[in-house]
Amino acid sequence: MKKLLIGAALAVSMLAAAPAANAAIAITLPAAAPDGTISAEFGQSGIGAGAFSETFEFNFPVAGTASTGVTSIRVSKATDINFTSVLLNGKAFNIVNGVFDSAILENWPVAAGLQTLFVSGTSGGNGSYSVDLSFAPSAVPEPATWAMMIIGFTGAGVAIRRRRRDDSVAFA
């Protein structure tokens, strides 16, 4: 019984010390530029031979459009990467396999908040890839623009109403 308890305790401690498989990698994006755009680069290197998959998570402050490119970095055939799937929030990228593999998704609408980028493929050993991400916020008129639009619509409505009244008086 004592050996069973020691074995169980050892198994639990090994499981607790083991890293979580395919845990998402949190990416902190740089601060937005004055126009609200964000550009970032990140990736993975030293990917061992065989199949791999990585999940990256990052946040966008507001809704907008994202363009993302994922490119393999090939030094030799041993470091070759072939992408099998690249997804941003479940949307599949257009993958082009060749000497340098790439996966591209351009101007895809995204909501504010958590974004998930999933990259999977095979590596010849010691493989690397980079991710180039750009984000542009949705165009939202500024308060002064809203005020000008409201004044313009009000002026157009007043002009149409006045013209109808003048026309009715002329017929009488």
For the chain, how are helix, strand and coil distributed in percent, rounded to 5? 30, 45, 25
Which stretches of the chain drop beneath a pLDDT of 70?
A: 1-22, 140-142, 164-172
pLDDT at 50: 93
Global confidence as pTM? 0.68
- Residue 139 contacts residue 109 (beta carbons within 8 Å): no
Distance CA 150, CA 14 (A): 66
pLDDT at 78: 73
How far does CA 100 lie from the centroid of its chain? 22
pLDDT at 2: 56
pLDDT at 65: 93
User: What are the start-end ranges of the H helices in 18-142?
Assistant: none
Distance CA 26, CA 115 (A): 10
- Residue 47 contacts residue 79 (beta carbons within 8 Å): no
pLDDT at 172: 56
Pick the CATH number of 23-143 from 3.40.50.150, 3.40.50.1100, 3.10.580.10, 2.60.120.380: 2.60.120.380
Q: Structure tokens of 17? A: 């010390």
* Domain ranges within the chain, ordered by starting residue: 23-143
